[in-house]
Structure 1
Amino acid sequence: MDTEAQHTERDRSSETEERSRSARISGPAERDGETGGWSWRRTGVVGGVCVVFLLLLSHFVMQPFLIPSGSMEPTLQVGDRILVNKLAYRFGDQPRRGDVIVFDGTGSFLQEAPEENPVTGALHGAAAALGLAEPAETDFVKRVVGVGGDRVVCCDGNGRLTVNGVPVEERYVLLGDAPSKVPFDIVVPQGTLWVMGDHRSQSSDSRDHLGQPGGGMVPVERVIGRADWIGWPFGRWAGVPETGAFDAVPAPAAGGHG
């Protein structure tokens, strides 16, 4: 009887130890499973916060902008993603001659914005704001050639563009391109800009809208920002080159040009 009792006690003791060992082994695994569930939620929340942060950054400070065409070659290539500084003109500074800017062409290059589905438009806008899609049809990137009051003429006897009577050596223009095959002589109204692409023969710019309302002039308030950096591809990672082409150009004469 005593022997059987001892065996029974040992059996019960073994079962208790086994349960305890199983609890010690399975407990952390179950907790890990719970942690894994929370980890996925955390990942989703963190990802969402990052997207919101990037959208806010893009909206107020710095926006990636995908270059969809060759109109700004050789300065900007098709597929480049530039970083547009939205603070460049926020604190009283104005666009200057030679700046490469991104602007909303509604009312100047386009008389009205094209209609689009609100949902797909919002999704495309978010993707474009992150540099993942082509920009909106209303957004353009060009170089400022004339500011308010400037007289811009093309071309002089040597085939050069002049601003306020001074010839401009446009070394940023694609090699082999003429400054313009379309002659023009315009005075830029105050508060507007005359803009042109660096690949003159392939750029639809202010020249193409001379006969339309606004005369191809871009209102300063439509400027989104200044293109300061090329962020992608990595092989072209650099600042957008500045130019001294307009350094000798004087301020426009008071009262405009005759």
Structure 2
Amino acid sequence: MSGSGRTDDGHGRLGSTLSGLAVAVGCVLFLGGFAWGAVVYKPYTVPTESMTPTVNAGDRVLAQRVDGGEVHRGDVVVFKDPAWGDMPMVKRVVGIGGDRIACCEKGGRLTVNGKPIEEPYLQTKGLASVENFTADVPKGQLFLLGDERSGSLDSRFHLDDPGQGSVPRSAVQARVDAIAWPMNGMVERPKAFAALPGGVSVPGPLKLQISAVVAGVVLILGGVAYGPIAARSGRNRRGQGGRVPVGAR
């Protein structure tokens, strides 16, 4: 009888220890994921429809804080340049220093260094620009277009400025990784730019951060639930151990 009691108490202590450990690890993952995300990402509200349908006016996006030197073609970036206004703007990078951007080729597509670019994200399918243009992007600069090409005020409207409509890499504040509200998911890197020298940028750590937060919640809830279950199980064992079998009376 006493040996059985000690075993049940040991089981209860083990259950309590495992429960506490799960909650502790869960808190580390949950809080660590949020803290990591707060350091790496910054939320922005998109002010205009110039990036429709990829991002709509009023959408809340999560943008990874990056240096302008990390930006690749195809990235959707948040930038601020005095020549474009006093507020942060969101556009897509279609050209980097040394590129020759032209539009439109026979099929209505944008070309980068003579290579036609498929742009499935455009609002106006099959037409990269409502007006023809060419631009040579200076070193250290970025050429930016909106995905809603019929109404976006982008590099095409600054072609007469120094740099032919491009902005310095230093103007970039962040790179958009996901649309947080409404929850439309990750902003994909365009495959068409991957074949060009330099390729496309590597996705940020947002998915890993979300996984850490979710795993933390699961461990916390599981640990909190397991404690009472283990205690109840121990009480049931002790209760069964203390009964005298009918045949032994």
Indicate which of 137, 147, 152 corresponds to 1:188. Answer: 137
Kindly report the root-mean-square deviation, in angstroms, between the aligned alpha carbons of the 2 structures: 2.2
1:79 aligns with 2:58: yes
With a CA cutoff of 8 Å and minimum separation of 6, indicate the structure with the bigger relative contact order. 2
1:241 aligns with 2:219: no
Q: What's the counterpart of residue 96 of structure 1?
A: 72
Q: 1:177–1:200: 8 Å Cα contact kept in structure 2?
A: no
Q: 1:166–1:248: 8 Å Cα contact kept in structure 2?
A: no
Matches within 5 A, 1:149-188: 149-176=98-125, 178-188=127-137
Q: What's the counterpart of residue 23 of structure 2?
A: none
Deviations along 1:20-64, whole A, 9 cap, x unmatched? Answer: xxxxxxxxxxxxxxxxxxxxxxxxxxxxxxxxx99xx87x63211
Q: State the identity %.
A: 45
Which residue identity lines up with residue 75 of structure 1 in the other structure?
T
Which residue identity lines up with residue 82 of structure 1 in the other structure?
V
Secondary structure of the 1:193 match is strand
Q: How far 1:160 sits from its partner (Å)?
A: 1.2
1:222 aligns with 2:171: yes
Q: How far 1:249 sits from its partner (Å)?
A: 2.8
Which residue identity lines up with residue 140 of structure 1 in the other structure?
M
Indicate which of 137, 147, 158 corresponds to 1:198. Answer: 147
Deviations along 1:136-176, whole A, 9 cap, x unmatched? Answer: x4211000000010111111122111101110011111144
Q: How far 1:209 sits from its partner (Å)?
A: 0.6
Aligned counterparts of 2:91 and 2:60: Cα–Cα separation in 1: 15
Matches within 5 A, 1:10-89: 61-86=40-65, 88-89=66-67
Secondary structure of the 1:221 match is helix
TM-score (normalizing by structure 2): 0.60
Secondary structure of the 1:162 match is strand
Q: How far 1:185 sits from its partner (Å)?
A: 1.5
Q: 2:109–2:117: 8 Å Cα contact kept in structure 1?
A: yes
1:109 aligns with 2:56: no
Secondary structure of the 1:231 match is strand
Q: What's the counterpart of residue 148 of structure 1?
A: 97
Q: 1:75–1:241: 8 Å Cα contact kept in structure 2?
A: no
Name stretches of at least 5 consecutive residues in structure 1 with no aligned partner: 1-52, 111-136, 252-258
Q: How far 1:182 sits from its partner (Å)?
A: 2.1
User: Higher helix share goes to which structure?
Assistant: 2
Secondary structure of the 1:202 match is coil
Q: 2:124–2:150: 8 Å Cα contact kept in structure 1?
A: no
TM-score (normalizing by structure 1): 0.58
Secondary structure of the 1:225 match is strand
Larger Rg: 1
Secondary structure of the 1:149 match is coil
Which residue identity lines up with residue 60 of structure 2 in the other structure?
R
Aligned counterparts of 2:187 and 2:41: Cα–Cα separation in 1: 15
Secondary structure of the 1:246 match is helix
